[in-house]
Structure 1
Amino acid sequence: MTKGKRTALWVATILGIALLSAWLFQRPIGLWLFERAVERAAARDTLKDLPDGLHVGFCGTGSPLPSRERAASCTVVIAGKALFVVDAGEGAARNIAQMGLPNGRIKAMFLTHFHSDHIDGMGPMMLLRWTASGNKSPLPVYGPSGVEQVIAGFNAAYALDNGYRTAHHGEAITPPAAAGATAIAFALPAAPTVIYDAGGLRVTAFAVDHRPVQPSVGYRFDYKGRSLVVSGDTAPSSTLEVASKGADLLIHEALNPAMVNTLAAKLDKAGRNQTAQIMRDIIDYHASPAQAADSARVAGVQMLVLSHVVPSMPSPYLNAAFLDGAEDRFDGPIIVGEDGQYFSLPAGSKTIDRGSWF
């Protein structure tokens, strides 16, 4: 036997022994791997390592259209170490946890409007905030008039479950007085209006155009010289452009009309005419990527990030087709947002860092 063949035989033998051992000892090996993974996940705290400043993360960049890659609308805003959430679509609470952000430390939530894809994750978020941290009061939820009805509905829907949790875990872990949420309503502002001002963070609400869905608002966040705007759902809006003046970062919803029309045509062809008509209907109360870029240019923001992506882009390879030339209408960077993505605006600088918390 040649030297080369002997070496190959030894390699094959060692590999075979390793594979056999992995199969024979898969239970203890699996338990060891599980323990290591759980230890890392339990100890992870994304907030701990953030520099002072304003930070934003995407816990949902999707829409009502089903997507494996995108949860429904949800944006996390962090000012210093204080954690806030804008909207709570389905899957949002799960994504927040996967981003290494503790649901139990959510200080407050801001709702832009009451479409289902912006609120249907409220229940799990309220529950996890309550059970995960020993909070002594319900989650404050700011929103335009109507938020009282929404929160009352979720509180009623979860009342029985809340009782089960307290009966099982005890009042020290799940105090009844801290369950659910408390609505803090404000009137639809005629001009940008400050609705939250504490801990160095100022939150300004402004009306947007999502007719016939009214009231609908967006929010501007200012903290230590850094600023970002979350548009909510809107067609092109002059009030948004005014509220966004000079902001570092504009997060704007976006719908590609040509792609949605193609989707509608294919649905018609498949005999799904009712859904096809709904697709055509939604075009007129959203903004295209080009229109979002126009607003970013008018407002003079540093960077534009698109969220509430319609239709959902399953791969970044499709982003160029989705943008459809929007880059030509705004001089700054345009990013198609993804779940887990974050943007960091450190205090005392003009930089915007980005990455993923997934």
Structure 2
Amino acid sequence: MQDLPDGLHVGLCGAGSPMADPLRSGPCVAVVAGKDLFVVDSGSGSTRNLLLMNMPPPRVSAVFITHYHSDHIADLGELMLQRWAGGASKTPTPVYGPQGLEQVVQGFEQAYTLDRGYRIAHHGEAVAPPSGFGGDPRPFVADPAAPDVLVLEKPGLKVWAFPVAHHPVEGAVGYRFEYKGRSVVISGDTGPSERLVKASKGADLLLHEGLAPNLVAVQKDVADKMGRDNYAKIFHDILDYHTAPEVAAEEAKAAGVGALMFYHIIPPLPVRALDGPFLGRSREIFDGPIKVGRDGDFASLPVGSKEIKWSNRLLAL
């Protein structure tokens, strides 16, 4: 992180969904604002990616959760543990999220209680301070009938939460990070959302989930033919609370964002040749840069510029 210029930087520590994808771990976005490292969601495998991307968990200032589907919180216990024991933290990990957060954080703390005792006994309290274990839940309510919520403010930095459309998951949110004139919006899981468009107005970069109905239809057809009724039902149901790439492109255009990056990719895209079928007509709708995200993808937004510098912190290993 020391090599980054002053600015807002965004990395995909997990670009995937609940479906196994060799190029994408569970959903996770790392945001570096100046000297602070934040993590939005903590999907399976994402904590290891943070380490590989040279954004170590002990440096995490806070975690933001969009909602409590399992793929967005699977690694939260591991992330809190790594921040604690890896950095000898004396204070629990600050965790922000919508209603229900306390139950989730306390559940992970309970699951890791035995491990906590082992590590304190083995390494000593100087390495694993008992006071630093677990999380410090900081819940908020993002009411669809109320303005966006300012959930964190520091010098030069504001983090806003806004409600999105993910029924029957009530309380799901996205986040907007603003740092010294640069801005990034992270959609979380959502169907088409007017609040998302409003919250994204003028943002430099929009990270939007994406589900390609044409490709999911292929999965459903295969499941039907194989008699996998449970999978076929799931492939049918997920269509109504995610966003097709063309619709996300229309939202990006309406919001006037500078660039669009897809994450939480559905279905898995194991080869780049599938990027085209996934995007469909998106590039015809939105004329700014579009990226189909993979683990390690990294966007740097230096202060005092409109530039976005793209790289991948896993491919550089």
TM-score interval for Structure 1 and Structure 2 normalised by the shorter chain: over 0.9
Structure 1 unmatched ranges of 5 or more: 1-46
CA-based RMSD of the aligned residues comes to 0.7
Task: Work out which of the residue numbers 207, 217, 235 in structure 2 matches 1:261.
Answer: 217
Task: Tell me what 2:123 maps to.
Answer: 169
Task: Work out which of the residue numbers 62, 76, 84 in structure 1 matches 2:38.
Answer: 84
Tell me, yes or no, if structure 1 residue 71 matches structure 2 residue 30.
no
Greater than 4 Å deviation, 4+ residue runs: none
Provide the C-alpha distance between the structure 2 equivalents of 1:119 and 1:165, rounded to a whole number of angstroms.
23
Task: Tell me what 2:72 maps to.
Answer: 118
Tell me, yes or no, if structure 1 residue 49 matches structure 2 residue 3.
yes
Tell me, yes or no, if structure 1 residue 327 matches structure 2 residue 283.
yes
Task: Tell me what 1:231 maps to.
Answer: 187
Task: Work out which of the residue numbers 238, 241, 251 in structure 2 matches 1:295.
Answer: 251
Task: Work out which of the residue numbers 167, 170, 177 in structure 2 matches 1:214.
Answer: 170
Deviation at 1:188, TM superposition (A): 2.1
Task: Tell me what 1:275 maps to.
Answer: 231
One-letter amino acid of the structure 2 residue matched with residue 106 of structure 1: V
> Contact between 1:191 and 1:207, CA under 8 Å: does it hold in 2?
no
Task: Work out which of the residue numbers 114, 128, 135 in structure 2 matches 1:181.
Answer: 135
Provide the C-alpha distance between the structure 1 equivalents of 2:170 and 2:48, rounded to a whole number of angstroms.
29
> Contact between 1:71 and 1:89, CA under 8 Å: does it hold in 2?
yes
Deviation at 1:268, TM superposition (A): 1.4
Task: Tell me what 2:196 maps to.
Answer: 240
Tell me, yes or no, if structure 1 residue 146 matches structure 2 residue 100.
yes
Farther off after superposition, 263-272 or 78-87: 263-272
Task: Tell me what 1:93 maps to.
Answer: 47
Provide the C-alpha distance between the structure 2 equivalents of 1:203 and 1:111, rounded to a whole number of angstroms.
13
One-letter amino acid of the structure 1 residue matched with residue 119 of structure 2: R
- Greater helix proportion: 1
Provide the C-alpha distance between the structure 2 equivalents of 1:308 and 1:156, rounded to a whole number of angstroms.
28
Provide the C-alpha distance between the structure 1 equivalents of 2:75 and 2:155, rounded to a whole number of angstroms.
27
Count of aligned positions? 312
Deviation at 1:123, TM superposition (A): 1.3
Secondary structure of 1:202's partner?
A: strand
> Contact between 2:142 and 2:149, CA under 8 Å: does it hold in 1?
no
Q: Which has the higher contact order (CA 8 A, sep 6+)?
A: 2
Provide the C-alpha distance between the structure 2 equivalents of 1:269 and 1:66, rounded to a whole number of angstroms.
21
Deviation at 1:116, TM superposition (A): 0.3
Task: Tell me what 1:252 maps to.
Answer: 208
Tell me, yes or no, if structure 1 residue 158 matches structure 2 residue 112.
yes
One-letter amino acid of the structure 2 residue matched with residue 341 of structure 1: D
Secondary structure of 1:49's partner?
A: coil
Provide the C-alpha distance between the structure 2 equivalents of 1:56 and 1:176, rounded to a whole number of angstroms.
32
One-letter amino acid of the structure 1 residue matched with residue 257 of structure 2: V
Provide the C-alpha distance between the structure 1 equivalents of 2:5 and 2:42, rounded to a whole number of angstroms.
25
Tell me, yes or no, if structure 1 residue 346 matches structure 2 residue 302.
yes
Secondary structure of 1:48's partner?
A: coil
Provide the C-alpha distance between the structure 1 equivalents of 2:164 and 2:157, rounded to a whole number of angstroms.
22
